[in-house]
Amino acid sequence: MLNIVILAAGLGKRMQSDLPKVLHRIAGKPMLAHVLDNARQLGPDRIVVVTGHGAERVQAAFEGQNELVFALQSPQHGTGHAVQQALPHLLEGDGEQDVTLVLYGDVPLVQPDTLRGLLEARGQGLALLTENLADPTGYGRIVRNAAGEVVRIVEHKDASDEERAIQEVNTGILAAPTAKLRDWLGRITNDNAQGEYYLTDIVALCVSDAVSVQAAQPGAGWETMGVNSRVQQAELERAWQREQARRLLEAGVTLADPSRFDVRGAIVCGRDVYIDVGCVFEGRVELADGVHVGPHCVLRNAVIGAGTRIEAYTHIDDATVAESAVLGPYARLRPGAEIGSQAHVGNFVEIKKSVLGTGSKVNHLSYIGDADIGARVNVGAGTITCNYDGVNKSRTIIEDDAFIGSDTQLVAPVTVGKGATLGAGTTLTQDAPAGKLTLSRARQTTIEGWQRPQKKG
């Protein structure tokens, strides 16, 4: 049985925040959600989250994830005491194969491969995830004997000068045989500089029981970076963004500047995709071959077809775009926009819950909502679909090859027939027949002899 215990009771005082620390975000996702997602990839039989400060808010944030078990640690008497609170919930049944992996809620990015490596290194004993740091200040140090075997961990505050010179540190993450872990945690004391029950004290007990202690290292340094302050949060955010950028660069994507690139979700790119500076990708975004994304665009839950160009400052939210379209600069696609191939959506155009057919163009200053627009339609500047009467939403239908003059209002529900033309300035309240010119416009007059008022003096 594989148990995973996630420690998340700490106060996080240095965050200077009312929000519990593990709910602060990295790449748009709460830190604890990262830990849970990575933990689940190992296929555990049980996950226990140890909460304390802000326990109710933490638990509420994961409501509906019924397989999670929450254990309350209140007050907090150290990491050993925290794991003790999880013990009643741990599953056993495979004898020596029963294992418990301890993770931290504020060390969000340890990758599944690193955790698999740790579990493998364990054999049937204890395994610690350790790291060599140029500046090990503050961390527990890994003390080894002359033969190079781990004998114990000493906390920074309890360490001698000689021990403080050790550069191999405890990341805090470990894997232990479950039955033995219960036994060891029953034997630790709080006789130390901080008056706490240290989880790290199980190492010396393990050694005295002649159970093997192994150490494994993370795949990359950023994986074990913890977050105790906003500074560390920002550093980890950038480290993770650089890693996501690196993966895309390796896969052949061009990023104008990998340090000005943010993915808060998942992005999938085809060949020869170009992404300019300052773009933010949220949710799930797919960019097909040859897509060009200009600077400062925001794309959330979007599917973009091959060869489409997205110019600067375009916002796309829950929309799909077919191949070879041109969007922006300053275009806005809202939920339910479906843009056809070779269509153009220009500056200050907002499109919501509408289909824009193949080769159709809405190039300037328009609002298109709840509309079905066919192929090769030209929508003039300043066109507005009046889709809402204050209570109901109604649809506008514009058939293939129609031409909508500038500054037209289409009062829905209304249909413009195939090949119809609407004169500029029309307020369309009834259907416009196919192939004909329809317009609503007061006749133009000129007042003879009219004089502009003159200022006196």
By the criterion CB under 6 A, which residues form the site for ligand UD1?
Answer: 7-10, 50, 52, 73, 76-79, 81-82, 104-106, 139-140, 153, 155, 169-172, 198-200, 226
**What b/e sequence results for 414-444 when a residue is b if at least 16 CB atoms lie within 10 Å of its CB, and e otherwise?**
bbbbebbbbbebbebeeebeeeeebeeeeee
Q: How far is the CB of 149 from ligand UD1 (least distance, A)?
A: 18
Give the separation between CA 156 and CA 192, rounded to whole angstroms.
11
Please choose which of Ca ion, ligand UD1, none residue 293 contacts, taking the beta carbon within 5 to 8 angstroms, the exact cut-off set by kind: none
* DSSP collapsed to 3 states, 223-291: HHCCCCCHHHHHHHHHHHHHHHHHHHHHCCCEECCCCCEEEEEEEEECCCCEECCCEEEEEEEEECCCC
Residue among 155 and 311 whose Cβ is closer to ligand UD1? 155
Please choose which of Ca ion, ligand UD1, none residue 70 contacts, taking the beta carbon within 5 to 8 angstroms, the exact cut-off set by kind: none
Give the separation between CA 5 and CA 301, rounded to whole angstroms.
32
Applying CB under 5 A, the site for Ca ion has a residue count of 1
Residue among 23 and 345 whose Cβ is closer to Ca ion? 23
Kindly identify the residues of this chain, within the stretch 214-233, that bind Ca ion according to CB under 5 A: 226
Q: How far is the CB of 89 from ligand UD1 (least distance, A)?
A: 15
**What b/e sequence results for 351-381 when a residue is b if at least 16 CB atoms lie within 10 Å of its CB, and e otherwise?**
bbbbbbbbbbbbbebbbbbbbbbbbbbbbbb
Residue among 32 and 397 whose Cβ is closer to ligand UD1? 32
Please choose which of Ca ion, ligand UD1, none residue 104 contacts, taking the beta carbon within 5 to 8 angstroms, the exact cut-off set by kind: ligand UD1
Identify the residue whose tokens are 């944030």: 61
Amino acid residing at 425:
G
Q: How far is the CB of 246 from ligand UD1 (least distance, A)?
A: 25
Residue among 53 and 122 whose Cβ is closer to ligand UD1? 53
Q: How far is the CB of 9 from ligand UD1 (least distance, A)?
A: 3
Q: How far is the CB of 54 from Ca ion (least distance, A)?
A: 17
Residue among 108 and 340 whose Cβ is closer to ligand UD1? 108
Considering 77, 156, 296, 364, which one is annotated as catalytic?
A: 364
Give the separation between CA 88 and CA 102, rounded to whole angstroms.
15
Please choose which of Ca ion, ligand UD1, none residue 311 contacts, taking the beta carbon within 5 to 8 angstroms, the exact cut-off set by kind: none
The CB density around residue 117, as the number of other CB atoms within 10 Å, is 17
Please choose which of Ca ion, ligand UD1, none residue 357 contacts, taking the beta carbon within 5 to 8 angstroms, the exact cut-off set by kind: none
Catalytic annotation on 53?
Answer: no
Long-range CB contacts (< 8 A, 24+ apart) of 321-328? Answer: 322/358, 323/288, 328/294, 328/297
Q: Catalytic site residues?
A: 364
Residues that bind Ca ion (CB under 5 A): 226
